Amino acid sequence: MMRRQTMFSATYCDKSEIMAHEGVLSRESSDHWRRECRHGERMWPGMHFPAAPPGLPSRPATAGAAGQDDDDQATAPSSPSSLRPPRRPPAPMAAKTKTHTVVSLWFFVTIPIIFWDALYCFLRPRSMRGGDLHWFWTPYELYQDTDYIYGVPALDAGDGFPNAQSALNVVENLLNMLYLYLAHGVGTPMAPVVGFASATMTLSKTALYWLQEYFCGGCSVGHNSLRDLVLLWMVPNGLWLVVPGYIVWRLGRDICASLCAADRASRKDASGKTQ
């Protein structure tokens, strides 16, 4: 009886020690998960960690425990705010495209005129006096006698210059339309470049037109009186020199100002990086 009682007493003591050991492990596990949730700044749904009952001894803060805490803190997931990518600085807003009333008005008014002139050259002789389509180009009845490039002599000689310059007029006109769209519809900095190119084409083509008459001794307009030459040829064609020349100067200044501003900004950025 004494042996059995001893065995029963020993078993009871062993179970008490095991239960106490399991309680310590349970508290350690609870503390571990509580620490994880505290470091991770999150709680799973339905998770609740009750506070330790009063009177229970807390774990001693040993070097190993402190190291474990450091490891847990190092490996713990970061907070949601720290997981967000760093905010990029706002992109600088593009400067508004600078427009000029004279430039836009010239392009807008000359677009239909240029198409009208090009179609006259392409549709000769039907567009000339006596043709079935001449009603649409009635003002050319006078001009075809003033400038033989637009008259019968150039058509009979098979001169290809009128149609060649009309083909360039179509390209120039498309650039005019593109400028108006980019400057007033989109507002892109490309607009001054397109307008500059178009005005340069007009200026160069008109200058070539004048130089040809000079070097050939007025072969197309030399038969006119001085009054008709000035009023019917020099004034209309001089307008296509003056206004495109002004547009080239005006848009050229805008382009140079934009390039200088971009160069100063790049130099400033480069000096900031080197420092």
Q: Over the chain (275 residues), what is each successive 10-residue block's mean pLDDT?
A: 46 53 53 51 49 51 47 50 55 66 96 97 96 95 95 94 95 96 92 96 95 94 95 95 97 93 85 67
Nearest to 254 by CA among 102, 105, 97, 107: 97
Spatial neighbors of 248 by CB under 8 A, at least 6 apart, are 196, 199, 200, 203
Instruction: Look up residue 170 and give its two tokens.
Output: 């179509």
pLDDT at residue number 271: 79
Spatial neighbors of 36 by CB under 8 A, at least 6 apart, are 72, 76
Residues composing the chain: 275
Q: Tell me phi and psi for residue 86, to 5 degrees.
A: -60, 140
Asked if omega into 125 is within 30° of 0 (cis), the reply is: yes
pLDDT at residue number 65: 45
pLDDT at residue number 132: 95
pLDDT at residue number 35: 53
Amino acid, res. 220: S
pLDDT at residue number 21: 53
